[in-house]
Structure formats: C-alpha cells, structure tokens
Structure 1
Amino acid sequence: MASVRPAGSGAWADVRAVMGERGDPSRCFCQYFRLRGKAWSEASPDQHREALRHQVCDGERPPGVVAYDGNVPVGWCAVGPRTSYPRVVASPYWRTDHPDAWVITCFVVPVGQRRKGIAGELSAGALELARSYGARTVEACAVDTAAAGRVPSADLYRGPLSVYLAAGFTEVSRTSPQWVLVSRAVG
C-alpha cells in the first residue's frame, strides 16, 4: 500500500522522477489542461517542466499529490480548482452544475508500478487535498475501458472509470461511449 502526500515545495524531485524521461508525461508535465491554443502548441517540453516546477515549488497550493512506496515516488495525480484549467473551463465536455468544483485531470503511474492500486490511492489523496482547501465537489473526465475496448495505456491518463466509481464518484454524463464526466461531493 502506497502513502500519498501533497506535492508541495519539497516534492519537486519526486514529481520529476514520476514523470520520467520518456513518454507523454515527460513532455506534457500536466500542462495540457492549463493551456489552450498556441500557448499549448508553441510551448516546449522544457517550458512545460518549468511550469510544473513553479506550480509545485512556488504555488499557493500543491497542484497534485504524489504516491510513495516507502520513500520511492510511484505515482502522481493532478488536481486543482476548475479555474486553474482554462482548457477544462472552455470545454463543452466538462459542462457541469458546479463551476467552483475541483477537477482531477491526470494520473501518471510509471511502467512497473501499474496494476497495484496506486491510481485508487492517488484519487483518495486528491480528494483529501481538495477537501483540505475547501472544495465541495471534485469532478473528472474518466475513461470507460469497458465501453472503449482495448485502450492504450497513454490514453488512460485521465483515469479509468472503475477507479473513480470505487472512490465514490457518480456518472454525470457521457460525451462519447468512452468519455464519462464523473463527480463526487467532498465538503
């Protein structure tokens, strides 16, 4: 069982270790939902990394949580107020009755750590972080792997629907058979 802690100022090295040196996390650094248009497409992976470093080290609140197996970082989950994510605010797929909700946008669990329940522990940690900052509702856009069929692991960054349902989220709507808006009260 992993322990989960907020990704505050002392956690940057651990967040960076989870993001790794290859694959989508090492290029995005959880900035996709924080940027839109040219701000996203013209930014380099180094700029994305620096933006997340600033959010972790200098932000007014942690931008997510990190899971640990002992002292080894084994997972990351991005969570924050909806207003922190311009792409979410602008998306027709994230229309809800809770404009002040917090949202979970991303999970990163490195190869070798997957299928151990870490995403479930990260979601619990994300809910607790949101609650500790006064959130009343947390939402996410989950991937329904049963409806989608075989899904590449890179496409699961939003989190499988099964993880959210196990954490007490309920389905709000579907934008496609595989994309499911889920919500949970926490306050």
Structure 2
Amino acid sequence: MDAPTTEPTVRPLTPETWPDLERLFTRPGDQRGCWCMWFRLTGTDWPATRTAERRAAFAERAAAAPSPGLVAYVDGEPVAWVAVAPRGEHPRIPRSTVIVHDPEVPDCWSVTCFYIRPDHRGRGLSTALLAAAVDHAAAHGARNVEAYPVDAQERTSSSVMFHGSLGLFTRAGFREVGRRKGRPTVRLALR
C-alpha cells in the first residue's frame, strides 16, 4: 500500500467535523449501523434502537464537550476515527462479561473503537489515533486511559479488530490489568 503523501491531521469530533464522520460511517461496514453507540447503550437499549436513532444520538453527543472522539485526515480527506471519552459515558462497560471493570480507577477514559477506511489500513493510522486519543483524554483531565483490545495471535477479520490489537496498546505503554474470557483490559496511568 502506498504511504500517505502527508502526515495525518487529527481533529476532535464537533458539529463542524460531524459531516466528515458521516462520510466515513456511511461507507459499507459495521460502523454504519453502530454509530459508536454500542458501549453507550445497555444490552436492553441496543436492540431497541434503530440505526437512525443511534446516528441522531451520537450527533447530539458530538455537539457537547468534551469531544467523544477524533477524526483523522490524510491529504484533507477524512480516513479514520477513534472513540475516546470518559468511561462513565459507557453503561455497557461495568456490565460487560469480557471487560475487567475497576470502579476505583480515578478519572478514567475509555478508548472503545477505531475505524480506518480499508484503503488506508496498514499505514500506522491506529498508532497516530491512539496517541492523539491519549493526549485528548489528558487535556480534559483524564488520569487513566483504558481500552479493551483483541489479543489476536493470528490474522483476524477487520470487523473484530475495531477495538484495536493488544500489541497496538502495549507498544503505546498500556499495561494489561486483567482478562475476562480471554479478552484483555489495558490501562495507561497518565499522572
């Protein structure tokens, strides 16, 4: 794959950048139905909502500060996304059967998903997005950043990898703090 002609630019999701996220999320793939609402809805609420409702709910959240994620651009085109927000915004996390949830961890933010356009995968965008997500969380008072990656020993379907790989997070300094049903939970202490 060709490398981008410029370094990625990463911008917070705001009402101004919302149309760029729409362009990314209306492409074929799982993001099209989720709209980054999986962790924001309970197991009961998820099936009770339609895609249009999820999209509207996330648009409403995008209009509030702090931004719930970041959009990456290459040569001015939106090509990738990372969701990062205070852990308390995600009611599914404490109820999860695969996440090690420690409510005593102070000021914790969660990196819950990545989406990279297929024609831009394998170019290091997830590394750039993760670094920007940690910086974004720190700038808004996070003392810890947590994630729930996939420990992929072999090549895995991209539809499973939206959480990011364990290697991505460990290379960025995250430490594994536990596992449930084989899924690691990783955390980075910022201060």
The yes-or-no answer on 1:86 pairing with 2:91 is yes
- The normalised TM-score by structure 1 is 0.92
Helix, strand or coil at the partner of 2:177: strand
2:135 maps to 128
**Structure 1 residues without counterparts, runs of 5 or longer:** none
Counterpart code for 1:18: L
1:1-187 residue pairs with structure 2 within 5 A? 1-56=7-62, 58-92=63-97, 93-96=99-102, 97-98=104-105, 100-146=107-153, 149-177=154-182, 179-187=183-191
Deviates more, 1:62-71 or 1:25-34: 62-71
Aligned-pair CA distance for 1:38: 2.7
- The normalised TM-score by structure 2 is 0.90
Helix, strand or coil at the partner of 2:114: strand
Counterpart code for 1:9: P
Distance 1:116 1:176 in 2: 30
Q: Percent identity?
A: 34
Distance 2:170 2:93 in 1: 21
Distance 1:113 1:51 in 2: 28
Aligned-pair CA distance for 1:18: 1.7
Distance 1:156 1:121 in 2: 16
User: Does structure 2 retain, via aligned residues, the 8 Å contact 1:83–1:100?
Assistant: no
Cα displacement string for residues 36-87 of structure 1 (whole angstroms, at most 9, x for unaligned residues): 133111111111111111111x212101011110211111000111110000
Distance 2:11 2:173 in 1: 20
* Greater helix fraction, Structure 1 or Structure 2: 1
Distance 1:59 1:79 in 2: 14
Counterpart code for 2:92: R
Distance 2:53 2:100 in 1: 26
User: Does structure 1 retain, via aligned residues, the 8 Å contact 2:68–2:83?
Assistant: yes
Number of matched residues? 183
User: Does structure 2 retain, via aligned residues, the 8 Å contact 1:82–1:89?
Assistant: no
User: Does structure 2 retain, via aligned residues, the 8 Å contact 1:75–1:110?
Assistant: yes
